[in-house]
Structure 1
Amino acid sequence: MTLTTCPTGSTQGAAMPAKTTHPPELNKAAEGSAGPILPFKTINPHDQPPAADQITIKNISRPCYGVYDDFVRFADNPAPEPHRAGLYWHGANRAGDPIDQRIGGPLHIEALSHDEHSGNFGRLLRFRDSTGQWKEWLVPMALLAGNGEALRSELLSRGYTYNDRYKAHILSHIMQSQPRERLIAAIRTGWHGDGTAFVLPQTTLGDTQYRFQAEHAHDSHLSTRGTLDAWRSQIGERCSGNPILILSACTGFAGALLKPAKQQAVGGAGLNLLGKSSQGKTTALQVAASIWGSPETVRNWSATGNGLEALAASLNDTLLPLDELSQSSPYDAGNMVYLLANGTGKQRAKRTGGMRPASRWRLMVLSSGERTLSAHMAEGGKKAKAGQEARLLDVPAVDRPYGAFDQLHGLPDGAGLSNALKQATSEQYGLTGQAFARQLMKYKGDLPNEYSELCRLPAFQVSDGVEARAAGTFALLALGGELATSFGLTGWREGEAIEAAVTGFNLWRDHRGTGNTEDRQILEAIADFIDRHGDSRFSDLDQPASAGPLIRDRAGYWRNTAEGRTYYLTSGGLKEAGAGHELKAIIATLDAAGWITERNAGKNSVKRRVHGKMTSLYAIQPQEVA
């Protein structure tokens, strides 16, 4: 028996919002806890039939499926009541009498889709949810495998309702549909079609034949609210005069430039805003996040590697803001940085055999933290590699006149500016990034050449390989900010984004120092170890053991002198503090830096009597790391 899709009823467009009425009893004060609890009754306007002369009568070629957006009658079925809007199976019983079985709400199959390589086939569904609102979903055909439970689960989560007894018909309806319209499925956000389309979960900018296709409801928060003018006046203009805020916002713009300006296929780079808490770092992240979406776009580093991979893939060509680096595992932090910067996830096996394509992405990362990446990794006994530090650049952010801020724009203090920006970013978001992408599609300039010119600025001329990579990142931030300003999006003066990028580069370079990277890591690790454990794993060298508190996992002792406190570390404590470096290298670095203050002849250690026993210790006075 051949199935066909019947002509659908006349499309009425988006439904009016559902109206809710309450039984009169609910409007009265309760007469006692023993009284009945009456349910709310929701009345959908499409549940109320119009006048008889306004109901469409359809001719049906059975058997088939039909989709109707309003009440309808069928010419060969003399039912006394009109049929509600919805998806119907039109069949007949053994006697030939018509059967018109309602499967669920209206469910249109609008288009067939596949990706640019003729894979990842899908169908564009348009349906009305249980509140009466129309929704669209480009569903991968892979969800129809088996009994279709995965598909129905997603439809339910999106608000579609159906008669569970006839749920198998939903699968049949989609499988046998052959819509004429064709779409190109985009399984990632961002640039497609050689820059002719910028795809987001809820919309496509540019060439609308590209549509976002996803198995699950998308929660990347790349949504919009407010107006462009309000974002510029309430957020953008308040960034002016504040290099850290401008630098953060530039990171948001730069994600969309990785492909057209840097011609990068995958990967990215990022900044880690460094400094004490409650100084404006998180506010800076929210400012950057508001370019593309809501404040919920700001996540924290506590995500697992797999979760972070999925998150990065969902934000392709935009920005991934991550708060509090210290919430990541110190054992995994370095690998997570490599993962984000390299832009390619792990290959995983399919349930049916074979390998799934690895996730891929391009994006910028904006992080915050109280410690550097290397210091955080040291807590787990790991040492950061130069490549990891070059991919997540530590920028001291809270040593400005007002925490992370230089100018308050008429507000009483840094907290006032922070609160104003937090409020504004909760009300104005998403539209600025979309406008930036639209303007990039129209832009006639040579973006790769403009990026190269910024890289050649005197401020970015360096000879060290790590510094050259960092300079390239800050040059891209400068380009993003200057382009956004020229598009009328920021409210900044011309050149202000370049100045902020140069400031950020200098802050990073000054903090990094000009010495050997491994030496600096060792010194930072030792200083951080003593800062964290100086009161819990050390005790007064001159105090009897019975006089002080019990020390667990002892790392050494201390003694106050006229020059300050000296820490006497055991060899085990020193090796632990050195975060995975060899003890010989640790001692050589401490010696070269002048941190070893006492020693016996020909030795780097000193003998001290500890509880009646002579013990070899390393006498250290930490200094500021250059």
Structure 2
Amino acid sequence: MFYAGKSGVKAITIPAEQLGSRQIEGLSEFGMDITTKNKNEVNEFLISQRKLLQTDLAYQTIGWSQLNNQTVFAMDKVIVPMIVGSSNVMLDSTQYQLVPQGVHYQLNDKNCPIHNDLSNNVNLKLGLVLGLSAALVPIINRFKPDIGMLIFALKGQSTSGKTTTAQLAASVAGPISGDGSLFNSWMNTQNAVTIKLNNNFGIPLVYDELSVYRGTNITSLLYNISQGLEKARANKNGEIRPQKRWQTVVISTGEQSIIEKSSQNDGILARTLEFEVDH
């Protein structure tokens, strides 16, 4: 709704729950002529006008998801034949910025870097495969329920190219710099890492330089990530909140072995694949 304020025309959003309730009288502070006698008529008018508005469908789950009973793959845009009943579909998330950047090529373009720069570089080929594999994890999980997450660790010295490999892996789905990018630092707590994973079903996520990880228990971190389920938490009423989930690929880089820093039990070895990256 638009109204004229002291500094000019302003816009406010009227929540749906405010219509059809006593709260609608609160709109009088913005200059609307709402009284006890006419509030029902005003309310009916606003509801009738809402039906004429263009519908925007927002989504927060990235990767494979369900929208309007259709299976879609959601990035900065939704890949789907048609979303029925909606003229606009948009990502509603502050965690991810997935708008593509840089130069775009078709795979059959002879100038595409995949056919040139990557053709003789094993590390960059590895990065491309790891990044694209994220979209396959939720599909594999349908047939192999015990495979819900893949953790890839890239180990190498500071000039080995492990970070470049990881950047390429993340870049297949979105930017690797700036707010909401897919390339992150390990300088986070375990909770911060898993919160970033929430509602991710097929978009690769990178955490760079294991040595700066703020947590103390790598084993607990790896188990938490591989479970694909956030820790149970209670709401203010003492009830268990719905737990967020994820199914994707996490790529870690570091000069140290992530497996050697863990307990190295069978559970960790089954959940983590480590690659030695060198020139």
TM-score of the pair, normalised by structure 1: 0.34
Equivalent residue letter for 1:242? N
Residue 246 (1) aligns with residue 121 (2): no
1:186 paired with 2:59, answer yes
Aligned pair 1:197/2:72, yes or no?
Answer: yes
Q: Which residue of 1 aligns with 2:251?
A: 366
Task: Please say if 1:255 is aligned against 2:130.
Answer: no
Equivalent of 1:270, from 145, 151, 169?
Answer: 151
- Over the matched positions of the two proteins, sequence identity in percent amounts to 23
Q: Is 1:287 aligned with 2:202?
A: no
Tell me whether 1:339 sits opposite 2:238 in the alignment.
Answer: no
Q: CA deviation at 1:353?
A: 4.8
Q: CA deviation at 1:299?
A: 0.7
Seen in structure 2, the aligned counterparts of structure 1 residues 167 and 300 have a Cα distance that, compared at 3 Å, is farther
Deviations 1:118-171 (A, max 9, x none): xxxx87xxxxxxxxxxxxxxxxx8xxxxx9xxxxxxxxxxxxxxxxx8599xxx
Aligned partner of residue 248 in structure 2, secondary structure: strand
Give the distance between the partners of 2:58 and 2:79, measured in 1 at CA: 14
> What residue number does 1:104 align with?
10
How far apart are 1:272 and its partner, in Å? 0.7
Amino acid at match of 2:162: K
- Within 1, Cα distance between the matches of 2:212 and 2:191? 16
Q: Summarize the alignment of residues 410-425 of structure 1 with structure 2, pairs less than 5 Å apart.
A: none
- SS class of match (2:273): strand
Partner of 1:304: 189
Q: Secondary structure at the match of 1:331?
A: coil
Residue 258 (structure 2) pairs with residue 385 (structure 1) = no
Matched residue, 1:153: none
The amino acid that maps onto 2:10 is G
Quick one: which of 220, 235, 240 aligns to 2:96? 220
Given the alignment of the two structures, is residue 349 of structure 1 paired with residue 229 of structure 2, yes or no?
no
Q: 1:262 to 1:352 in 2, by over 3 A?
A: closer
SS at match of 1:257: helix
User: What is the DSSP-based 3-state SS (H/G/I as helix, E as strand, rest coil) of the residue aligned with 2:233?
Assistant: coil
Which residue in 2 is equivalent to 1:116?
Answer: none
Q: CA deviation at 1:212?
A: 5.4
Distance 1:333 1:212, change over 3 A: farther
Higher relative contact order (CA 8 A, sep 6+): 2
Alpha-carbon distance between aligned partners in 2 of 1:358 and 1:167, rounded to the nearest angstrom = 42
Structure-2 change in CA distance of 1:262 and 1:359 (3 Å)? closer
Give yes or no for contact 1:373–1:384 (8 Å, CA) kept in 2.
no
Q: How does 1:309-324 map to 2 (within 5 A)?
A: 309-313=194-198, 315-324=200-209
1:314 CA drift (Å): 5.3
Distance 2:156 2:94 in 1: 33
Q: What does residue 3 of structure 2 align with?
A: 88
- Cα RMSD (Å): 3.7
Inter-partner Cα distance in structure 2 for 1:389 and 1:349: 32
Q: How many Å apart are 1:244 and its aligned residue?
A: 2.4
In structure 2, C-alpha distance between the alignment counterparts of 1:273 and 1:196, rounded to whole Å: 32
Change (3 A) 1:376 1:330: farther
Aligned residues: 239
> Which residue in the other structure is 1:396 paired with?
276
Change (3 A) 1:326 1:195: farther
Aligned 8 A contact 2:65 2:201 in 1: no
> What are the residue-to-residue correspondences of 1:478-493 with 2, within 5 Å?
none
Match of 1:328 in 2: 213
Q: Are the aligned partners of 1:301 and 1:324 in contact in 2 as well (CA < 8 Å)?
A: yes
Q: 1:166 to 1:369 in 2, by over 3 A?
A: same
Paired with 1:340 and 1:205, the residues of 2 have a C-alpha distance of: 27
SS in 1 for 2:131: helix
Change (3 A) 1:262 1:228: farther
AA partner of residue 127 (structure 2): S
Contact 2:3–2:30, Cα closer than 8 Å, also in 1: no
For residues 229 and 187 of structure 1, the distance between their equivalents in structure 2, rounded to whole angstroms, comes to 28
Q: For residue 159 of structure 2, what is the amino acid of its counterpart?
A: S
2:259 partner SS? helix
Match of 1:529 in 2: none
Structure number having the greater helix percentage: 1
Distance, in Å, in 2 between the alignment partners of 1:246 and 1:190 is: 22
- CA displacement 1:11-50 (0-9 Å, x = unmatched): xxxxxxxxxxxxxxxxxxxxxxxxxxxxxxxxxxxxxxxx
Report the Cα offset of residue 363 of structure 1: 0.6
Specify whether residues 282 and 356 from structure 1 end up closer, same or farther in structure 2 by C-alpha distance, changes over 3 A only.
same
Q: How far, CA to CA, are the matches of 1:268 and 1:350 in structure 2?
A: 27
Aligned partners of 1:258 and 1:362 also within 8 Å: yes
Q: Is the 8 A contact 2:95 2:196 kept in 1?
A: no
1:234 Cα deviation from its structure 2 partner: 5.5
Q: Which residue of 2 aligns with 1:376?
A: 261
Aligned counterparts, 1:452-601, within 5 A: none
Offset at residue 219 of structure 1 (A): 4.0
